[in-house]
Structure 1
């Protein structure tokens, strides 16, 4: 279990950005770990530290700082000592900038964890050594169900790097043998799941061991500290090329821009964000789902015109042709257009307290397109413990909160889609309750599976 670590700077700029989340079961120390990262890396202000020190909800003795309060911003979180909402925090070291998402551990808030994980480059799976069930005679380690659930979601969302932080090592006297057993158990589970880029690290978030400073109490561990590992993980950026740049061109149209009515020229631009690939003046495109051909005339930005643009840039495209294009359409490369789907096969995480009802219609939000959708079948349910997909005996029973399933949908208007494994932006969607307007599921499109 080894993460890909850059020894040089080929794919790592001095101030490249890494987005990561913490995940795990309840009270595994996720908020405390982030608080420790912020505190030891000088990523908090003096007034924030003073406010935490004065908090009436401190769960520490004496003058010891309760680092978990640095991320638990809701009053209910402070009162109960749990994380409910996703808390985003920013900090930087001389080598890299970071955006952290502190996600809840409670099963009922798994949907919040999915939200935080959807944009992450890396995930820290915390394992609390005091909760892991160890078999007798050195045999058998039983991981917690939430550890397995969050690892499964990380795999489904294709998060590139997984760090297994074996936390609270101080509670077991920094015992290497117990650590090795836990790492071996997770490695076995990760193999069954298909996780490849996994790095374990022993630490104590509360005491600060191996978080920013190396722990003298675990001299048997010779790997990097957590902050060293986070600084070294490879993340592709625009300056050095990105996998998103190598993918086919995809440009969901967000807005059609017209002139203000007082000019003679008939300006018509199509505004949006390039989700993958590159585009240049003169390129041949196809409008999806209509299938019309188009040619790029100009690429306009706030800072002026460009000859070419790539993934991640927000631009306005002007075309040579006068075409009927509106919000929800997709401009794609003529040589590799997206697949048009009216029947969709997808893996979904059900995020609503209300179960799936096959008799109801939902809204599907795919890129900038929103259209009516109906779930026609629930093919299989994923068993978190065994990682086996089980056939559904009674599809009419629907999906319940936190269920992960493969489903079939019919959509009213065709989607210009790709497999999630190829292009995340055009391979993902959300389902919305048409009555309450609540997001009920997040889905990943599967093609040819």
Structure 2
């Protein structure tokens, strides 16, 4: 009977609706995941004759099942997988029965490929977690189960495989099912169905066999067919993640992206999050033409009636059901980097279409792990961003609440995570939309608003150049404000010291002041040492596109020491000032500034002229 194709259709008076179930298989190495999926494909009639012939040839060359077909080879497409007998990549396969269509992910079991398994978990409706009956529940089984729970899968089938290899199948099965039930009680699963199987021989996978006559429950395929499919995207509030601002000419401005959840209609009032600006949807544009509505999963371009500032990473929502605006939230992280987590390392977060610097503080690691994170460990964390973002928890809206962390030094994805809850008052505060837009103010002023951020070592000439620049701009009827680091420390920032945290807060506050002036259509001339690349990038992230220019005032340390206009270096050398930038603490030059000013070669007046030329080129001000 081995290899028999079974007709799974069941006669009955009622028509059967074939919906879709997306599930993944996971478990420890050699638990039989690929064999199980190969068996499912074969026994549901999905394998063509030429594929069977190829499988027979591969089974003789690579197989591990003796003279039988090795169904794992239907999935192990990489040569390295076939030679080693393990799954490395995530393999997606499709099959169907008379009751349901299935999309299944065969995910890696080896510990070093757990990150691939996490990728497969994203977006699945259910999980089949395999356990080798000869080994029972292992540490990798528990880790995979935590990941499945972490990424929102609530329906689990525990497939106890290789049941034919144990001396007392019923006792072994009952013990494993009991052990797993005790372990999984602390996870967020709604249902766990235990099923004994032999994937190699096909026992209780698609059909009942005499060898498992003692088991009165469903076959694996019956258990999969019986799982409810819940697509909650349409029932959740409308969320549209802006991925691209589409402006092919001056007459058209649209915002392209995918509706993450809910639906929207032409004529609906929306708000832009996190800014809170209101607008009306005038058109819903697709390749096939305009539509009257769009819903979850649709890729469309939305055109707004009003001119409001919308940038990539913003979220459009309905006014009565908008996301929170937060800059701090709790999360669960799965560490995916070979380098362990380091609290002093710079990370960036990509969440809901937006990318931003982020500070990560661990709150606790998984059971048995140290108070840190190494590869494949799960930990709770608190994340702090330099500015608010549109926020929904993963439980409320998975596309909004899922995120990744990126190591800024290497560019590697360091962790995958899910947002849990807003922290602090920010979760209850919504920005008030302005009655007059930045564009309207800029038109009234006759020029664009923006922040010119001069950064460099103490004594490099930032304040001198800034003063010359503001004088020249004022002579051209340009509305400006000068924000100087020392001036702000006499007022707004007088409570701050010079620790790394206080320096970052000094820059953050200055950036917020600059942003308010920029929103008013004013050009802010900002002169700050601002030694951290991350702190300067955080200011840029808070400002509109083309609203921030980073100007590196470049002067070697020896030249700055020789100038020493405020006597800072002399006092640092005397021990009066600790941690002066360039002496006791480091300065991070901009990796890609908009303009570099060599103050050994340029006078302050010439340097200011260079900045004005840049402003004309960027069309902030009219050409002189």
TM-score of the aligned structures, taking structure 1 as reference length: 0.86
What does residue 104 of structure 2 align with?
A: 100
Matched position secondary structure for 2:260: coil
Residue 413 (structure 2) pairs with residue 436 (structure 1): no
CA contact (8 A) 1:174 1:218 kept: no
Root-mean-square deviation (CA), in Å?
A: 2.1
Residue 421 (structure 2) pairs with residue 447 (structure 1): yes
Note the alpha carbon deviations across 1:241-277, whole angstroms, 9 max, x for none.
x42212111110011223456xxxx222211111111
What does residue 423 of structure 1 align with?
A: 397
Residue 260 (structure 2) pairs with residue 275 (structure 1): yes
Q: How does 1:340-419 map to 2 (within 5 A)?
A: 340-375=325-360, 377-383=361-367, 392=371, 398-419=372-393
Residue 175 (structure 2) pairs with residue 181 (structure 1): yes
Q: Select the structure that is richer in helix.
A: 2
Q: How many residues align?
A: 409
What does residue 171 of structure 1 align with?
A: 165
> Could you tell me which of 101, 122, 139 is aligned with 1:145?
139
CA distance in 2 between counterparts of 1:45 and 1:353 reads: 41
CA distance in 1 between counterparts of 2:176 and 2:334 reads: 27
CA distance in 2 between counterparts of 1:86 and 1:174 reads: 34
CA contact (8 A) 1:297 1:320 kept: yes
Residue 62 (structure 2) pairs with residue 57 (structure 1): yes
- Please report how far the alpha carbon of residue 407 of structure 1 lies from its aligned counterpart in structure 2 after TM superposition: 1.3
CA distance in 2 between counterparts of 1:339 and 1:402 reads: 30
CA distance in 2 between counterparts of 1:291 and 1:430 reads: 25
What does residue 35 of structure 1 align with?
A: 38
- Please report how far the alpha carbon of residue 446 of structure 1 lies from its aligned counterpart in structure 2 after TM superposition: 1.2
Mean Cα deviation higher: 93-102 or 168-177 = 168-177
- Please report how far the alpha carbon of residue 96 of structure 1 lies from its aligned counterpart in structure 2 after TM superposition: 2.1
CA contact (8 A) 1:27 1:82 kept: yes
Q: How does 1:217-296 map to 2 (within 5 A)?
A: 217-236=211-230, 242-260=231-249, 266-296=251-281
CA distance in 2 between counterparts of 1:341 and 1:361 reads: 20
- Please report how far the alpha carbon of residue 284 of structure 1 lies from its aligned counterpart in structure 2 after TM superposition: 1.5
CA distance in 1 between counterparts of 2:348 and 2:49 reads: 46
Mean Cα deviation higher: 286-295 or 221-230 = 221-230
What does residue 140 of structure 1 align with?
A: none
CA distance in 2 between counterparts of 1:317 and 1:428 reads: 24
- Please report how far the alpha carbon of residue 448 of structure 1 lies from its aligned counterpart in structure 2 after TM superposition: 5.2
CA contact (8 A) 1:363 1:432 kept: yes
CA distance in 2 between counterparts of 1:41 and 1:312 reads: 30
> Could you tell me which of 296, 301, 316 is aligned with 2:301?
316
What does residue 289 of structure 2 align with?
A: 304
CA spacing shift, 1:174–1:226, aligned 2, 3 Å:
farther
Unaligned 5+ residue runs, structure 2?
A: 1-11, 424-624
- Please report how far the alpha carbon of residue 16 of structure 1 lies from its aligned counterpart in structure 2 after TM superposition: 1.8
- Please report how far the alpha carbon of residue 426 of structure 1 lies from its aligned counterpart in structure 2 after TM superposition: 0.7
Note the alpha carbon deviations across 1:34-80, whole angstroms, 9 max, x for none.
11001111222333322232222221212x11111111111111111
Note the alpha carbon deviations across 1:144-187, whole angstroms, 9 max, x for none.
11111111111111203100001111112562222112111211
Residue 334 (structure 2) pairs with residue 334 (structure 1): no
- Please report how far the alpha carbon of residue 215 of structure 1 lies from its aligned counterpart in structure 2 after TM superposition: 1.8
TM-score of the aligned structures, taking structure 2 as reference length: 0.63
CA distance in 1 between counterparts of 2:193 and 2:65 reads: 30
CA distance in 2 between counterparts of 1:49 and 1:404 reads: 41
Matched position secondary structure for 2:52: helix
CA distance in 1 between counterparts of 2:307 and 2:18 reads: 43
- Please report how far the alpha carbon of residue 229 of structure 1 lies from its aligned counterpart in structure 2 after TM superposition: 2.0
CA contact (8 A) 2:394 2:418 kept: yes
- Please report how far the alpha carbon of residue 13 of structure 1 lies from its aligned counterpart in structure 2 after TM superposition: 7.2
CA distance in 1 between counterparts of 2:276 and 2:16 reads: 40
What does residue 138 of structure 1 align with?
A: none
CA distance in 2 between counterparts of 1:435 and 1:343 reads: 23
- Bigger-Rg structure (1/2): 2
- Please report how far the alpha carbon of residue 221 of structure 1 lies from its aligned counterpart in structure 2 after TM superposition: 1.9
CA distance in 2 between counterparts of 1:194 and 1:411 reads: 28
CA distance in 2 between counterparts of 1:22 and 1:322 reads: 48
CA distance in 2 between counterparts of 1:53 and 1:350 reads: 40
Relative CO higher for 1 or 2, CA cutoff 8 Å, sep ≥ 6? Answer: 1
